[in-house]
Amino acid sequence: MTAKLCVFVSSVQKELEDERLIVQNLVNTDAFLSAHCTPVLYELEPASPDKALEGCLQSLDGCQVYLLIVGIEYGMPVGGLSITHAEYHRAKKRKLPVLAFIKGDRSVKRQDGTKKLIAELEADGPKYKRFGNVIELQKEVRAALVKLLKDRFGIAPTSDENQIAQQTIEATSAFESRPLTRMRWSDLDLSVARTLIAAAERRKPDELTNDDLLAGAALRGLVWYDPASREHYATAAGIVMLARDPSAVFPHCRILADVYRSTEPDGDPRDHEDIRGPMPIAIERAIDFIDRNTRHPMRIVGLNRVRLDEYPVDGLREALVNAVAHRQYEDAGRKIILEIFADRVTLLSPGLPPRPLTLANLRKGKYRPCSRNPVLAQCLSYFHRIEERGSGFRRMHDQMLDHGLDPPLLGTDMGYFQITFPGPGENIEKLLIPEKRLLVTRAIEASLNDRQKQIMEHVLESGTVTRRWCVTEFQVANDTAGRDLKELKDLGLLTPEGKGRAVRYVIGTTLQSTDDRPI
């Protein structure tokens, strides 16, 4: 099997929009299924029912699997059959594998056309499964697709993939897949959408057309199409990720940040901010808040001048991403809380770890990841370039140790999941310089002559150097001093300021502090 299977998801659109999105999100976020399958949902329904049917059938003809979800409603007939019923006939004619799922048991009262469709399914023989809720639907859909891939192509998931999938399905909240009609696609922050879709599809942002953006957002469960109004609207996940102010719809979708003067909270924070905005942007604003309220000592190491952070930025960002991705959004009364004390940074996220995760396993680093909100987790991993399926807590642990600090502490507090980053306190000298921050590499340092090394040491101590200083210090010709300085400038180690005889050299861009934050 070289290409992914296109799985056509068929249902009465308006009645089963939740289920359609759940199936789409399952296939897109499951590690095994996403490697071998692509969900196809026909969304752009034309004004004419005949043209809608034609479009659906054309889309179906490009697929290799037909997945049918049946509820109560039959849908508008076109030539005697509903669009869904006609799609089923086309799938049978093309001898596609049919995976059918019926919502509710036999006692459910259904429209006459729906009864005929179910009777036809029973007569034709394709096995179908019944489901009562979205958890059951996800389990049945995954099992059916896994069996299909194994029977037809000899492809099977690993035991780890199966366990992670089971845990994620059981932990999944229905929140992020809810279609909401409060916010149109055009009202979202499309610049954030462009960054996200470009990262997800490994394309340049300026290559994406508006249609590319919409298709990418729909594929990832961030928008849905309402055939009644013929418009696209944000799902709950789309509002969290792309709304200019998600708290306008979900008041709890914010980060409350406070800075305290001592090691205990008080009623008069030194700085505070109610951080709102698309959550990928809000995370970076929270990083900025921490940056301006923590210390940044300067260190000179060899030929490097490094601005240190009091806490590892990558570890803090990972914790914020986890808080946004895995919080319990059904808890509408509480926000994410960020607190900075004199000796620590604490982050609290509403909701305890979803089963089967336990604090003990998280603390040991022995767990298989699962997500309460897999769509948000996947989208944030694209935006912030964080590996979604690895162990974020193990990475945070290692980043703190590499920074010279104690590992983070995990706990719970009145229904919040809490992670605490112990700081250096009064012992700021304990901070270590990560090797990646030493921008003058050994290779560059080895290429410098003794005079150039002494020039750099002088600049790091005093801030500037001139050609006259070099001539006097080393007793060399003016041209020799000029060549030394030019080579350092060409390497990006020095930058000239001024003109003529007044020119002086300062630290170059290579040695200035870097910012590794995502764009």
Give the residue from 11, 5, 61 showing the smallest Cα distance to 224: 11
Tell me, yes or no, whether 291 and 402 share the same domain. Answer: yes
Tell me, yes or no, whether 135 and 272 share the same domain. Answer: no
Give the residue from 458, 488, 302 showing the smallest Cα distance to 496: 488
Residue 41 lies in a domain: yes
Instruction: Write out the two tokens for 320.
Output: 């914020």
Tell me, yes or no, whether 361 and 458 share the same domain. Answer: no
Residue 374 lies in a domain: yes
**CATH number assigned to the domain comprising residue 478:** 1.10.10.10
Residue ending a domain, among 142, 172, 202, is 172
Tell me, yes or no, whether 260 and 345 share the same domain. Answer: yes
Domain count, the chain: 3
Residue ending a domain, among 147, 172, 197, is 172
Which residue range is the domain that position 443 belongs to?
439-507
Tell me, yes or no, whether 464 and 392 share the same domain. Answer: no
pLDDT of residue 516: 44
Instruction: Write out the two tokens for 255.
Output: 């980060």
pLDDT of residue 358: 67
List the beta strands (DSSP E) in 24-97. 37-40, 65-70, 77-78, 81-82
Residue 298 lies in a domain: yes
Tell me, yes or no, whether 424 and 455 share the same domain. Answer: no
pLDDT of residue 514: 45
Residue 167 lies in a domain: yes
Q: Which pTM does this prediction carry?
A: 0.71
CA distance 10 to 81: 14
Tell me, yes or no, whether 406 and 490 share the same domain. Answer: no
pLDDT of residue 388: 45
pLDDT of residue 395: 85
How confident is the model over 456-490, as pLDDT tens digits?
888 878 889 999 999 999 999 999 999 999 999 98
pLDDT of residue 517: 43
- How would you write the pLDDT of the chain (519 residues) with one tens digit per residue? 668 999 999 998 878 887 888 899 899 888 899 999 999 988 655 556 677 788 889 999 999 999 999 999 998 888 889 999 999 999 999 999 999 999 988 888 999 999 999 999 999 887 789 998 888 899 999 999 999 999 999 999 998 889 888 878 877 777 877 776 679 999 999 999 999 999 888 899 999 999 999 988 988 889 988 877 888 899 999 999 999 999 999 999 999 999 999 999 888 899 999 999 999 999 999 999 999 999 998 876 666 677 889 999 999 999 999 899 889 998 888 999 999 999 999 999 998 876 666 667 777 766 666 678 888 988 898 876 555 444 678 888 888 988 889 999 999 888 899 999 999 999 998 888 765 555 566 667 778 999 998 998 888 788 899 999 999 999 999 999 999 999 999 888 899 998 887 899 998 765 554 444 443
Residue 238 lies in a domain: no
Tell me, yes or no, whether 348 and 488 share the same domain. Answer: no
**CATH number assigned to the domain comprising residue 382:** 3.30.565.60
CA distance 110 to 124: 20
**CATH number assigned to the domain comprising residue 133:** 3.40.50.450
Exposed, middle or buried: residue 55 (CB in 10 Å: 0-12, 13-18, 19+)? middle
Q: How far is CA 285 from the centre of its chain?
A: 16
CA distance 111 to 191: 44
Tell me, yes or no, whether 415 and 473 share the same domain. Answer: no
Residue 183 lies in a domain: no
Tell me, yes or no, whether 36 and 58 share the same domain. Answer: yes
Residue 199 lies in a domain: no
Going from the C-alpha of 458 to that of each of 18, 120, 144, 343, 453, the distances in angstroms are 66, 86, 69, 35, 9
pLDDT of residue 154: 93
Residue 49 lies in a domain: yes
Tell me, yes or no, whether 33 and 168 share the same domain. Answer: yes
Residue ending a domain, among 430, 463, 491, is 430
Tell me, yes or no, whether 353 and 416 share the same domain. Answer: yes
